[in-house]
Structure 1
Amino acid sequence: MKSIRSAFPVILAILFSAIFSAAQVIPEVPGRELMPLSDVRAGMKGTARTVFSGTKPEEFGVEILGVVPNGIGPKQDLIVGKLSGANADRTLVFAGMSGSPVYIDGKLVGAISYSFPYAKEAICGITPIGSMISIFEQRPAPERIVGKRASFNFFELMGSNWRTITGPFSAMAAGDAVIGSNMGPSLAPVFGQTFRPIATPLAFGGFSQATIDAFAPDLMRAGMLSVATVGGSREKDFKKPTANTLLGGDSIVVELARGDLSVSAAGTVTWRDGDKIYAFGHPYFSLGSIDLPMSESHVVTVVPNLNNSFKVAVPDSAVGTLTQDRATGIYGILGREPKVLPIEVHVRTSRGRDETVRFETVIDDFLTPLLLNSGLMNTIQGNERSIGDTTIDVNGTISMKGLPDVKIERRYTGPQAAAVAAASPSVPLAALLNAQLAGIEFTGLKLDLTVSEGSQVATLDRISVDRSEVRPGETVDVTATFRRQDGTPFNKVFALTVPADAAPGKLTLTIADGGVVQQASAVQQFAPQDPRELIATLNSLRRSDKLYAVFSRESAGAIVGASEMSDLPPSMIATLNNGRSTGGVKATTTSTLQEATLDAGNFVFSGSQAILLEVVR
């Protein structure tokens, strides 16, 4: 008896431990039965599931307050509910909760997806599961029909502002749901307020705060919330999904970039139906048909915040591909590997140190140039000073299956060299992505950046020639006087050959940087017919940092497409000027006879000078 009494506290502790552990066990995902919206009534109570820490979902209470007709969009109603439970009371509705499944009587009702900004109680909007399924059960969209070929401006292709090609980010956040006056007494406390899609926490790995501050606003406008800089996911092998992969309530991550640099957005799985995954309950970017990596994840914690509580989630292995991003959620397929763009950046710093950064990005008309730009800026800033003059050489290739590489060769100098050098490779990439041409399949992008301190600017002040009368095919010596940034002058002599077909008369010789030459060119736009034409054009663009010698004369001509035709007969000029010709034909009064790139050293040149020659026989 004494031994039993002495063992009683131990037995009691074991019993209490067992009872407590049993209370923490989350039951299996409720049955596959779905509750139609017509059965949902105010006052119903149920449960929801989401991950607050680790990988296991936890349950909390949900009470239905009512239904808002057309709250999400036309014929897309919104259920309004109130959350309860220890964790829900602590965090309220938090960024990353999007997609959390709501169950009543074991039936799936929908996904927690909307919230009130600055709410004092955990009031949420719930997207009905029927709306989530029906929008993805519609017939898949056909291949995009191109009504008009993309047209590009040569000067923009020479520059570094890739947004002139992509246009502004056109992601459309879901419409607000405004509570009307006929919603009944249970919704009276929220009358006149506005629901917003729950913000999607966007985590940056390997990025400095300065880079995040510079580039995150593009994504924030689409409903993202920059919440943390967390460890990026190294490139992991694709994981074969199992029966327990991404079930309702599990944390899901959509990766925009992964590797040494990562960008990922976290949410919650609403329902798994075989290999089909439904999540979020509202758009990600509202991109329609997509191809984005879908990964498992583990949650570090949910951070309570006065402005907006948020989930900190770290992506694990990719297990599938998101294929649809629409008004009532996102949809993915398990087991399908996504298409990504492998990027490798090698940096030779001004101190002679070599650094290599490797990451993969999604392939999208806007997101890919943005991610490349931000990744390069972060890499440069992480290895070089941010203030002062810098010179950066950019060399690389964009590789595609069955097509020639696009060559990238640029040089930038001055206080803004880092920003311009980081943006410039995104220009040809944006052109390839936005050209609307079939047959472009990316296989990789490699860049070499060489950085040196100081400025290498040289401005062209004047030019002179050894004689003003020349004959066709002769060589004329041109002396160009430049000025360095500190004001010191220096001369360069160029031996230029007069065009062999130059007719007697006046001939203009212009020495100028590539930007000036392009702006003066009669050909400013072109519309590529196929990928090879676009690639050839990108590889033959003038460089704004180089010097060019151009022989030109006043002569009646025309621009046909992207080609210049000079010395046309008067009858042809009359036809072009009568207003009855179409198809991209434009008359000109100046014709370029010859153009050559000048080897003038490692400076970044700017300026323009012209001189008049007389061609004699």
Structure 2
Amino acid sequence: MVTRGLGPRPARIVVSGLTAVVVGAAGLATTVTSPATAADPCVTAFPESGLTDGQAVEGLTVSKGTDPESGAFTGTISGAPLQDGIAPGVDLILAELTSPAVDKNGIWAGMSGSPVYADPEHTQLIGAVSYSLNEGSTHLAGITPASAMLDLMPAPAATVAIPRKVADRLVADGVATRAQLANGMRPLPTPIGVSGLTSRRFDQLAGWLDSQGPVANATIGSTTSTADASDIVPGGNIAASLGWGFVSAAAVGTVTAVCGNDVVAFGHPFNYTGDSTYSLHPADAVAIVPGATFGGYKLANLGDRVGTISDDHLAGIHGTFDAGPTAYDVSSTATYQGRTVSGTTHVTVADLVTDAGLANAFAASDRAMDKYGKGTARASWTITGKRRSGAAFELTHSDVYTDTYDVSSAPLMDLAMQAYTLLENQSEAVTITGISTATTISDEAVSWRIGRTYWRKNGAWKRVTAKSPAVVRAGRTANIRVELYSRDAASRYVTVPVTASRKSAGRTGRLALQGGFSGGEDYYFYDSSEEFVDAYGDSMVGGSVPESIPAVLEQLRADQRNDTIASTFTVRGTATKKRSLALGQVVSGSVLVPVVVRP
């Protein structure tokens, strides 16, 4: 099977902010500990009416490690809050900020949620850094008011326009250029960082996460972060994860406030889903990377899961310290030349279980092979799921795949087809709850193609042609010899038995031979003295209904394996006879053999 990469899955357009990029999270445990700040008094929202132009402010954020003081910043309020600047009833506060990291990178992706205070004791919370200018790096930050964050008030918003008078003053003060202000302010980027995939696999799979927001690849971390729940403090790192483990996908931002077991962060939506099922993690910042795709952004390692992000609204995300949301596991094992690699990814967004299963399988095969290349893969997998009624179902499949370009991709095309056939069926909504794969890979990439056919006459094999059909005696079984050829090996021959019933005497039949792998193949047809027409009912007459889930599962289980030749012998007026010949190697091609049945 030859593939040139998996195409991106169609993605819906989602207006969302982004935070930072995850470097690594492999092998994370799920221990939950209480945050050190759980007993601290809850922060108070500083009234917007009390803000004045030029008022001094200070805030906390992490530029490296887990200490919020590492990126501490100061600044001043720029003018009065923009009334309804974010949404009706939600103003936008502007402030010019400064710190060594801000001076170097501007307001960076990953600062989302950084608390801004009106007092040195950090008890009067003005709000969270959450917006920046659309153009270039800048010291000018948009702040979501604390009152809105603590209430998590939802309302639609994408960018915030800067009023002309405010823009004139900001330009005059040298805070920003006219070009930067022209497009208003936007939520700080919060890219979903993906770890565990090579750059090629990231390119193949990144489109499947587009519905969750922009995606950024990251280098795989070699160790798990030691950050824990005690590091989730105002100004500290926080990660919202779609899945973690062998392959991870998460966005990292900043904690705005902690009150008992409750946490608010980001200051803008992640995916704006309202209710959400992300897992909550601490994170260890590795570095602030200047420039690049999203302007400056933060690289970070995830710590263990410590809770659930249950709300994703306009003013930010809200989570609690607990055992975490329900996780669906996808697991993979791959073996190559005696080296076996296994890994499991825990997925908390049900819609992404299939995508994570594909990514997990890719990661296992790539780590086992430690290269891209040709070969043969003997793969098996199990897909588990639930129907609309809650009833469980399971689909198990195994097959052989040969690829001359990228053997790791070959099995996953079929896995994706089966999973999405189930998900996109028109009968009832289903949920995929797990995927497990096992693959053994070798370097040999020999595949076969059906060639010429022969029948036995007078003790010798005679080639079948349009003018010289095969002959079988009624009531007996005869063998048809089939040539298999390959560019990588000498031709080989197999025999396919054909049994003609007594009732078929004097008629001409048709033997159809079909290789298991049919992608991009040619078909060869021989003339016959009889015409065969398959009659199909018109589904438009009287209407129709989609196939049921049991029917879809039955069809998928009946799929022909790539390493078999299916034979179908048909004679009009008699029962069709079907057989399957297993070869153990991939075979393609198709041929129709005319067969004359003699008394």
Q: Same fold (TM over 0.5)?
A: yes
Partner of residue 155, structure 1: none
The amino acid that maps onto 1:316 is G
- 2:396 is aligned, of 407, 423, 438, to 407
**Alignment CA distance shift 1:303-1:510 (3 Å):** same
Q: Does 1:231 align with 2:242?
A: no
Partner of residue 359, structure 2: 374
**Alignment CA distance shift 1:428-1:269 (3 Å):** farther
| C-alpha distance in structure 1 between counterparts of 2:233 and 2:83, whole Å | 29
The amino acid that maps onto 2:266 is F
Once the two structures are overlaid, the 10-residue window that deviates more, 270-279 or 395-404, is 395-404
Contact 1:53 1:302 survives alignment (8 Å)? yes
Partner of residue 84, structure 1: 98
Q: Which consecutive residues of structure 2, in runs of 5 or more, have no partner in the other structure?
A: 1-36, 457-468, 524-533
Q: Does 1:310 align with 2:292?
A: no
Contact 2:565 2:581 survives alignment (8 Å)? yes
Partner of residue 34, structure 1: 45
| C-alpha distance in structure 2 between counterparts of 1:215 and 1:310, whole Å | 22
Larger RCO: 1 or 2 (CA < 8 Å, sep 6+): 2
Instruction: Please give the per-residue CA displacement for 1:161-216, whole angstroms capped at 9, x wherever unaligned.
Output: xxxxxxxxxxxx97333434354644444431343432235555444444445444
**Alignment CA distance shift 1:184-1:258 (3 Å):** closer
- 1:176 is aligned, of 152, 156, 159, to 159
Contact 1:34 1:109 survives alignment (8 Å)? yes
Q: Does 1:262 align with 2:252?
A: no
| C-alpha distance in structure 1 between counterparts of 2:313 and 2:503, whole Å | 61
**Alignment CA distance shift 1:198-1:483 (3 Å):** same
The within-5 A match list for 1:201-600 is: 202-216=192-206, 219=209, 222-226=213-217, 228-231=219-222, 233=224, 246-305=232-291, 308-349=295-336, 351=337, 353-364=338-349, 367-384=352-369, 386=371, 388-399=373-384, 403-413=392-402, 414-433=404-423, 437=428, 440=431, 442=433, 444-465=434-455, 475-486=477-488, 488-497=490-499, 507-514=509-516, 516=518, 527-530=546-549, 532-551=550-569, 593=576, 595-599=578-582
| C-alpha distance in structure 2 between counterparts of 1:290 and 1:276, whole Å | 15
| C-alpha distance in structure 1 between counterparts of 2:547 and 2:223, whole Å | 38
The Cα shift of 1:484 comes to 1.1
Partner of residue 145, structure 2: 128
**Alignment CA distance shift 1:319-1:451 (3 Å):** same
| C-alpha distance in structure 2 between counterparts of 1:473 and 1:527, whole Å | 42
Contact 2:130 2:187 survives alignment (8 Å)? yes
The Cα shift of 1:447 comes to 2.0
| C-alpha distance in structure 2 between counterparts of 1:50 and 1:29, whole Å | 19
**Alignment CA distance shift 1:551-1:199 (3 Å):** farther
Contact 1:366 1:430 survives alignment (8 Å)? no
The within-5 A match list for 1:161-200 is: 175-181=158-164, 183=166, 185-188=168-171, 189=176, 190-200=180-190
Contact 1:251 1:269 survives alignment (8 Å)? yes
**Alignment CA distance shift 1:120-1:392 (3 Å):** closer
**Alignment CA distance shift 1:255-1:501 (3 Å):** farther
SS in 1 for 2:325: coil
SS in 1 for 2:182: coil
| C-alpha distance in structure 2 between counterparts of 1:499 and 1:255, whole Å | 64
Partner of residue 466, structure 2: none
| C-alpha distance in structure 1 between counterparts of 2:157 and 2:400, whole Å | 42
TM-score computed with the length of structure 1 as normaliser: 0.70
The Cα shift of 1:390 comes to 1.0
SS in 2 for 1:50: coil
| C-alpha distance in structure 1 between counterparts of 2:47 and 2:472, whole Å | 88
Q: Does 1:63 align with 2:70?
A: no
Partner of residue 159, structure 1: none
**Alignment CA distance shift 1:52-1:125 (3 Å):** same
Instruction: Please give the per-residue CA displacement for 1:81-124, whole angstroms capped at 9, x wherever unaligned.
Output: 22123443244212211111223354333321222356353122
Instruction: Please give the per-residue CA displacement for 1:552-598, whole angstroms capped at 9, x wherever unaligned.
Output: 5789xxxxxxxxxxx9xxxxxxxxxxxxxxxxxxxxxxxx9454432
| C-alpha distance in structure 2 between counterparts of 1:258 and 1:489, whole Å | 48
**Alignment CA distance shift 1:174-1:407 (3 Å):** farther
The amino acid that maps onto 1:115 is S
Contact 1:232 1:262 survives alignment (8 Å)? no
Contact 2:66 2:231 survives alignment (8 Å)? no
Superposed CA RMSD in Å reads 4.3
Q: Which consecutive residues of structure 1, in runs of 5 or more, have no partner in the other structure?
A: 1-25, 139-172, 556-566, 568-591
| C-alpha distance in structure 1 between counterparts of 2:498 and 2:399, whole Å | 25
Q: Does 1:100 align with 2:114?
A: yes
The amino acid that maps onto 2:221 is V
| C-alpha distance in structure 2 between counterparts of 1:538 and 1:40, whole Å | 64
In terms of fraction of residues, the more helix-rich structure is 1
Contact 1:509 1:612 survives alignment (8 Å)? yes
The amino acid that maps onto 2:61 is T
Contact 2:193 2:215 survives alignment (8 Å)? no
Partner of residue 585, structure 1: none
| C-alpha distance in structure 1 between counterparts of 2:509 and 2:47, whole Å | 81
TM-score computed with the length of structure 2 as normaliser: 0.72
The amino acid that maps onto 1:550 is T
| C-alpha distance in structure 1 between counterparts of 2:51 and 2:513, whole Å | 76
| C-alpha distance in structure 2 between counterparts of 1:80 and 1:593, whole Å | 78
| C-alpha distance in structure 2 between counterparts of 1:387 and 1:101, whole Å | 46
| C-alpha distance in structure 2 between counterparts of 1:478 and 1:40, whole Å | 91
The Cα shift of 1:616 comes to 8.1
SS in 2 for 1:357: strand
SS in 1 for 2:112: coil
**Alignment CA distance shift 1:322-1:274 (3 Å):** same
Contact 2:566 2:580 survives alignment (8 Å)? yes
The Cα shift of 1:251 comes to 0.9
Instruction: Please give the per-residue CA displacement for 1:193-250, whole angstroms capped at 9, x wherever unaligned.
Output: 343432235555444444445444655782344454423549x9x98x6xx5733322
Instruction: Please give the per-residue CA displacement for 1:148-170, whole angstroms capped at 9, x wherever unaligned.
Output: xxxxxxxxxxxxxxxxxxxxxxx
**Alignment CA distance shift 1:498-1:320 (3 Å):** farther
Contact 2:231 2:237 survives alignment (8 Å)? no
Partner of residue 46, structure 1: 57
**Alignment CA distance shift 1:611-1:230 (3 Å):** same
- 1:603 is aligned, of 573, 580, 585, to 585
The Cα shift of 1:357 comes to 1.9
Partner of residue 110, structure 1: 127
Aligned length: 512
| C-alpha distance in structure 2 between counterparts of 1:325 and 1:193, whole Å | 25
SS in 1 for 2:445: coil
SS in 2 for 1:331: strand
| C-alpha distance in structure 2 between counterparts of 1:457 and 1:228, whole Å | 36
SS in 1 for 2:356: helix
| C-alpha distance in structure 1 between counterparts of 2:587 and 2:418, whole Å | 22
Contact 2:401 2:562 survives alignment (8 Å)? no
| C-alpha distance in structure 2 between counterparts of 1:478 and 1:174, whole Å | 70
Instruction: Please give the per-residue CA displacement for 1:472-508, whole angstroms capped at 9, x wherever unaligned.
Output: 8754422222111237322210114458998996643
The amino acid that maps onto 1:407 is T
SS in 1 for 2:304: strand
The amino acid that maps onto 1:342 is D
| C-alpha distance in structure 1 between counterparts of 2:552 and 2:275, whole Å | 25
Contact 1:202 1:225 survives alignment (8 Å)? yes
**Alignment CA distance shift 1:74-1:186 (3 Å):** same
